[in-house]
């Protein structure tokens, strides 16, 4: 697609190509397909903080042989009231081929569904979706277990505010996985909104016992109306420690999109153990984001950069 806003923008066939291409990039780190002239220029435009997503896209762009532009929204004309569309059109006519965009506002890219001003990847938008994170999580899960059919993954924590949980719910059932969304009631969505193969549980221990994989989420206080709630006892009641996994006899892989809050959703012993796969996810983010950029740049969409439907 020209706009990767949601997992819904990809067919299963396209997802499988991304997984296979990621594996190819991981196996062949010397590959640099954009080492041609002119080199594509790819920008990141992050209106919300990031360590993993922004920098792994930057590394992926450089590994591909593309040119990286770090668009600083804070010092840009967005601050003078310029619209997002004008900003993206300006980048496009400066020769930027693709922009990875993050915002604290949900669905901000939906306005560009029919006519993207530039090729766009959603790097996380509010509580909506984080498709590139979900895709690299899928790649990691397949590396841990090549057949995911019938396996259960429990997503434990602040599900309602998690954009990656929303993308995973659309993605993993396509590979036959069952998902349990678990956490305190206030962190869970309405049961009537759940897609097939996704269920809810407020019972952490029962959830852990049924899990083939655990996926932990941070409490996203920046998205809470009341951010002063104490999380002093969260680890004992709702988090996951290495001792808990030992007690329940469930030494399964534990994933986390990061950033992790040690002492809240997990403990120091778990993050330092071999069960913790958060760093493997970070490692795998490079080949998957290389695959995403490559696929989007290969797509020759002549509708990009049109102004009022007309080519400039
Ligand atoms: N997983 C993730 O989106 O992390 P960052 O906020 O550090 O990019």
Using a pLDDT cut of 70, give the percent of the chain over it: 98
DSSP strands (E only) in 104-197 = 119-125, 152-156, 178-182
pLDDT in tens, 209-238: 999 999 999 998 888 877 667 788 999 999
Distance 219 CA to ligand 1 centre (A): 13
User: What number is the average pLDDT over the span 282-291?
Assistant: 98
Ligand 1: residues within 6 Å at CB? 50-53, 124, 130, 133, 257-259
Centre of ligand 1 from the C-alpha of residue 92, in Å = 26
Please name the residue whose Cα sits nearest to atom 1 of ligand 1.
Answer: 257
Instruction: Kindly report the protein residue whose alpha carbon is nearest to atom 3 of ligand 1.
Output: 53
Mean pLDDT of 194-201: 95
Best of 58, 126, 133, 220 for a ligand 1 pocket test (most atoms within 8 Å of beta carbon): 133
By alpha-carbon position, which residue is closest to atom 4 of ligand 1?
52
Q: Are residues 293 and 98 in contact, defined by beta-carbon separation less than 8 angstroms?
A: yes
Query: Which whole number is the average pLDDT over 77-86?
Result: 94
Cα–Cα dist 292/20, whole Å: 11
List, for residues 84-95, the tens digit of each pLDDT value: 999 999 999 999
Tell how far the Cα of 101 is from the centroid of ligand 1, in angstroms.
13
Q: Angle at Cα 261 formed by Cα 213 and Cα 132, nearest 5°?
A: 55
Among left, alpha and beta (phi > 0; psi -120 to 50; other), residue 249 is left
Looking at the chain, the domain(s) classified CATH 3.40.50.1370 span 3-129+284-298, 131-281
Class of domain 131-281: alpha beta
Atom of ligand 1 nearest to the CA of 51: 7
**How far is 113 from 2, CA to CA, in rounded Å?**
9
| Dihedral (CA of 239, 245, 246, 251) sign | negative
Q: What is the pTM of this model?
A: 0.96
CB atoms within 10 A of CB 165: 27
Residue 306 is predicted with a pLDDT of 78
CATH architecture of 3-129+284-298: 3-Layer(aba) Sandwich (3.40)
CA distance 56 to 268: 25
Atom from ligand 1 closest to the CA of residue 56: 8
- The CA 51 to ligand 1 mean position distance, Å, reads 6
Instruction: State the pLDDT at residue 141.
Output: 98
Measure 217 CA to ligand 1 centroid, in angstroms: 11
Q: How far apart are CA 263 and CA 269, in angstroms?
A: 10
């Amino acid at each position: 697609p020209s706009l990767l806003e949601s997992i819904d923008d990809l067919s299963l066939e396209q997802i499988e190509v991304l997984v296979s291409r990621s594996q190819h990039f991981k196996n062949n780190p010397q590959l640099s397909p954009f080492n041609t002239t002119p080199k594509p220029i790819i920008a990141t435009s992050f209106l919300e903080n990031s360590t993993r997503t922004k920098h792994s896209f930057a590394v992926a762009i450089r590994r591909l042989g593309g040119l990286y532009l770090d668009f600083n929204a804070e010092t840009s004309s967005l601050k003078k009231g310029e619209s997002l569309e004008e900003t993206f059109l300006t980048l496009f006519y400066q020769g930027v081929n693709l922009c990875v965009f993050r915002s604290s506002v949900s669905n901000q890219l939906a306005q560009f569904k029919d006519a993207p001003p530039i090729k766009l990847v959603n790097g996380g938008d509010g509580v909506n979706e984080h498709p590139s994170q979900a895709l690299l999580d899928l790649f990691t899960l397949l590396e841990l277990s090549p057949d995911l059919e019938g396996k259960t993954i429990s997503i434990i924590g602040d599900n309602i505010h998690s954009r990656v949980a929303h993308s995973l719910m659309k993605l993993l059932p396509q590979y036959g996985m069952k998902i349990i969304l678990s956490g305190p009631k206030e962190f869970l969505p309405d049961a009537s909104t759940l897609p097939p193969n996704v269920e809810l549980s407020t019972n952490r221990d029962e959830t852990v016992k049924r899990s083939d994989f655990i996926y932990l989420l941070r409490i996203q206080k920046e998205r809470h109306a009341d951010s002063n709630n104490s999380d002093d006892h969260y680890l004992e009641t709702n988090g996951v420690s290495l001792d808990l996994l030992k007690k329940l006899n469930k030494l399964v892989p534990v994933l986390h999109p990061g950033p992790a809050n040690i002492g809240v959703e997990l403990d120091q012993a778990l993050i330092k153990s071999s069960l913790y796969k958060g760093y493997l996810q970070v490692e795998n983010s490079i080949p998957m984001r290389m695959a995403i950029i490559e696929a989007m740049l290969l797509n020759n969409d002549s509708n990009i950069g049109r102004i009022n439907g007309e080519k400039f």
